[in-house]
Structure 1
Amino acid sequence: MHMVFGNLAKITRVIYYRLSPYEQKPFVGIIKHGFPNVLRRLQENIFIVTPPFIFTTLLMSWADSKNLELSVKNPKDYEHEK
């Protein structure tokens, strides 16, 4: 037996069960079970996820305005160069 990719080792006492992708129904119950599950998860996590987003948005807004304020040159510093 040659060692080719896929036959690198002989494994005994291991049983693999596979379901054909053609026999699966991936969208069964998506409206009945999936959509309510999404709503439930959103309601559970909204108070965990939202405060960091709000804090980060306010922090970035403040940082952008402060950066713009500090990066503008003062015209009075250059009056003597005319």
Structure 2
Amino acid sequence: MPTVKAFVPFGPDAQVQTIDQMTVENDPKRVSMYGRLDFTHDQAGLDKARALSALLDAVVARLEAATALPDHTPSGPNTHPMKNPFA
């Protein structure tokens, strides 16, 4: 059974959670999921489905608890201007 530790969506500390071959990354502005997750028709499939469900339930609960959500959050990476060292 996959071990799922407490996942705090949009928390102050970056977290990474893995369920089988699916990775979930967390930071204060977004939760990103990538990879592959197969649900087989057995106990292992049920365990993985429950783990993913608990993780998504935490994301939904955190979003629903927010007092004011913006319509959109910028999706680009956090960067800052810097000089070109090769110029």
Larger Rg, first or second structure (1 or 2): 1
Larger relative contact order (CA 8 Å, sep ≥ 6): 2
TM-score (norm 1): 0.29
Which protein has the bigger helix share? 1
Which protein has the bigger strand share? 2
TM-score (norm 2): 0.28
